[in-house]
Amino acid sequence: MKKIKRSIAVLTILIMAIMLVSGCGQSSTTQTTAKTRVDEIKKNGKLVLATGNYRPFEYHDEQSNKIVGYDIDLAEAIAKKIGVPLEVKEMQFTSLIPTLQNGQADLVIAAMYITDQRKEVVDFADPYMDTGMVLVVNSGDTAIKSVNDLNGKVVGVKTGATSEKVAQDLKDKGANITIKSYKETVDYLLDMENGRLDASINDLLNQLEYNKTHPKVKIVGEPFTKASLGIAVKKGDKELADLVNGVLKEMKQNGEADKLYQKWLIGSK
């Protein structure tokens, strides 16, 4: 009888020990999972950025042909924080989110507006800049002063971008406009200058940059939308989003964000 009791006691102790080890193992696994994302980037030895071609945020320098801009410098700061070099993948705007979703990029920085529709498929870090959509016409045009003057006009926009959505919203609300979509912003702005379009819709910050070297176009009226630019990460990638937020906060506090704005938005030519 004593042997049976002793065996039961030993068995109970063993079961408790197994449960304790199992519990510790589960906690360890949870902690490891929480660190996996940034650790994976470190293991890969690079931070992969998906971006587009949208001066002054990302564009090819005429002399070096290297891709440069506000967003590139911002991505470099994030890569430095992680401790890895930055790899830039340039592509069409419509390919950015799919590239992020299929794991071919770690994040997207491309002057991308934070929208409810995009938040359904990706997560965003905190906004890093505020902007809005504006109406653009040729400098000699005195007939178009606001979106109210667009009836019967042909309007240029960028395929898959907010400008296209804004134009479609205007049309849905009764504006009699013809929407013509282009792969790149510069293409429809040039077409407008050459008389093939009556007006264009573009981001305020991008248009201010374009106007520096194209005095034959002008912004009319006030921005008719308000938006924030955001850095997109894969859905559920909270750890990387938190790291990006930390970098953004640090750059605002130490003045680096202001320096980037002066360098690319104010001082760039």
SS3 content of the chain, % helix, strand, coil (to 5): 50, 20, 30
Task: Specify the pLDDT at position 16.
Answer: 52
Residues 16, 3: Cα–Cα separation, whole Å: 20
Query: Is residue 171 very low, low, confident or very high in pLDDT (cuts 50, 70, 90)?
Result: very high
Q: Which of 188, 102, 178, 103 is nearest to 138 (CA)?
A: 188
Q: Is the pLDDT of residue 18 over 50?
A: no
Query: Average pLDDT, whole number, for the chain?
Result: 88
Q: Is the pLDDT of residue 21 over 50?
A: no
Residues 222, 79: Cα–Cα separation, whole Å: 36
Q: Which residues contact 140 (CB under 8 A, 6 or more apart)?
A: 216
Residues 246, 254: Cα–Cα separation, whole Å: 12
Q: Is the pLDDT of residue 22 over 90?
A: no
When mean pLDDT is compared across 8-17, 40-49, 69-78, 260-269, the lowest value belongs to: 8-17
Residues 12, 264: Cα–Cα separation, whole Å: 69
DSSP helix/strand/coil, 130: strand
Share of the chain above pLDDT 70, in %: 86
Query: Is residue 169 very low, low, confident or very high in pLDDT (cuts 50, 70, 90)?
Result: very high
Task: Specify the pLDDT at position 25.
Answer: 43
Task: Specify the pLDDT at position 208.
Answer: 87
Residue 232: other Cβ atoms inside 10 A: 27
Q: Does domain 133-225 have CATH number 3.40.50.1100?
A: no
Q: Tens digits of per-residue pLDDT, 213-224?
A: 999 999 998 888
Q: Is the pLDDT of residue 87 over 90?
A: yes
Task: Specify the pLDDT at position 24.
Answer: 44
For the structural domain made of 42-130+228-266, what CATH number should be given? 3.40.190.10
Task: Specify the pLDDT at position 205.
Answer: 87
Q: Is the pLDDT of residue 184 over 80?
A: yes
Taking a C-beta distance cutoff of 8 angstroms, is the pair 233, 187 a contact?
A: no
Task: Specify the pLDDT at position 90.
Answer: 96
Each domain of the chain, given as residue ranges in start order, spans 42-130+228-266, 133-225
In this prediction the pTM is: 0.67
Do 133-225 and 42-130+228-266 fall under one CATH topology?
yes
